[in-house]
Amino acid sequence: MDCFPFKYTYNTYTLLISGQHSSARKYFIMRIIRYLDENENTRFGHDHRDGRATLLEGNIFESLQDTGRRTVVAKLLAPVQPSAILCIGLNYSQHARETNAELPQYPVLFMKNPAALNHPNDPILLPPSCLDPLQVDFEVELAVVIGRAAKNVPAANALDYVFGYTIGNDVSARRWQKHGGGGQWVRGKSFDTFCPLGPELVTKDLVPDPQNLRLQCFLNGELMQDANTSDMIFSVAELIEYLSDSMTLLPGTVIMSGTPSGVGFARQPPVFLKPGDKLELKINSLGTLCNPVAKAG
C-alpha cells in the first residue's frame, strides 16, 4: 500500500519574515516530507515525485535551505518527530452526540507517548492484549504542528505559532482506554504504532482556514468517517490558546485536534480493527494517509 497524492503539483515560495531578533528568518510555503535516503540518513525534502525529492537542509523550525539537489526517497517517514503529542477528546459536536456525552465546557486533554509515532504505509500493530476481544479503533484527525515556542498565546494570533498541518490517526484501544487504564486515557492511546502521521507536513500558508477542511476515514474501502472541521467545538486557535495557558508548547509539538463521528465503537454492531485491514485517511489539501493493520509480533 502506498498512498501519496500531489505528485507533480508542487509550487515553492520563500518568505522572509522579521522576528524578534535582528536577523530575518526564512520560511517556506510548501509540502514537506521527512524520509530516509538510500544511505538510511533522515532527510527533509519537497517536490516528491518518481521516488525522489528535492533536499532541504537545516532545522525545519528555524532555517531550511532548499539545496535544489534531487535525492532518493527510500522510505517515507512521519513528517515530524514530535516533542509532545497533545490530544483533544470530544471536540466534534456530532462525535459527542454519538457517544452520548455532554458537550465539554473546556477542551478534554490527554497525551500520547511520542514513541507511538508511526509512518505512512507502515502497519498499525495490534498487541496480543487487544485481539481477544478486538478493541482497537480508528480516528481521523487534523494534526497541528507548532513551529515556535508558544506560551500564553491569545486565540487572535494563535495561528501565527503554527508551522503546518498533517493527517493524524489517534488509534485507540478502547478497553484499555476505558477500563484498563485506571480511569486515564493515555494507556489505551499510546501503544507502539498507535499514532500514524503524514504523509506530508503542509505549511500553514497552504491551509488558509483550518476550520473548513473535510476529513474522511475509509476502512477496507468503506467510508466510516466523513465530516468537516467546522464541526469542531473548539477551533484550532482556541485549542492553542487553552493549551498554551501557563504551559509552553515547544516547537514540534503535535496537537491532535479531535476526531469526528463515525468511530468504530459507537457503531451498531461495533467495528474494530483486525489484522489484514487497510485504512485510508483523507483531509482535503493534506493528502491521504494509508496504513495496513497487522498483529504485533
pLDDT by residue (tens digit) across 171-188? 999 998 887 777 788 999
Residue 100 and residue 69 share a domain: no
Residue 158 and residue 62 share a domain: no
When divided into structural domains, the chain yields a total of 2
Residue 94 and residue 141 share a domain: yes
2: in domain? no
Encode pLDDT of 263-286 as tens digits. 999 999 999 999 999 999 999 999
Residue 260 and residue 197 share a domain: yes
Residue 166 and residue 43 share a domain: no
116: in domain? yes
Residue 144 and residue 40 share a domain: no
| Residue that finishes a domain, picked among 43, 59, 77 | 77
Q: Which three cell numbers stand for residue 69?
A: 539537489
Confidence of residue 1 (pLDDT cuts 50, 70, 90): low
Distances (CA, A) of 120 to 4, 54, 83, 198, 242: 9, 19, 19, 6, 30
pLDDT of the residue at 17 = 30
Domain containing 171: what range?
84-295
Residue 259 and residue 240 share a domain: yes
Residue 89 and residue 65 share a domain: no
Q: What is this structure's pTM?
A: 0.92
Residue 95 and residue 54 share a domain: no
3: in domain? no
Encode pLDDT of 72-87 as tens digits. 999 999 999 999 999 9
Rounded mean pLDDT of 26-54?
93
For residues 178 and 186, the answer to whether their CB atoms sit within 8 Å is no
Residue 186 and residue 222 share a domain: yes
107: in domain? yes
Residue 192 and residue 108 share a domain: yes
5: in domain? no
| Residue that finishes a domain, picked among 46, 77, 108 | 77
Residue 114 and residue 96 share a domain: yes
Q: Which residue has the cell 509550487?
A: 11
* DSSP, residue by residue, the chain: ------TT----EEEEEE-SSSSEEEEEESEEEEEE-TT--EEEEEEEETTEEEEEEEETTTEEEEEEEEEE--EEE-S---SEEEEEES-BHHHHHHTT-PPPSS-EEEEE-GGGEE-TTSPEEEPGGGBTTB-EE--EEEEEEE-S-BSS--GGGGGGGEEEEEEEE--EEHHHHHTSSTT-SHHHH-STT-EEEEEEEEEGGG-S-TTS-EEEEEETTEEEEEEEGGGBSS-HHHHHHHHTTTS-B-TTEEEE----S--GGGSSS-----TT-EEEEEETTTEEEEEEEEE--
pLDDT: which is higher, 29 or 193: 193
| Residue that finishes a domain, picked among 27, 47, 77 | 77
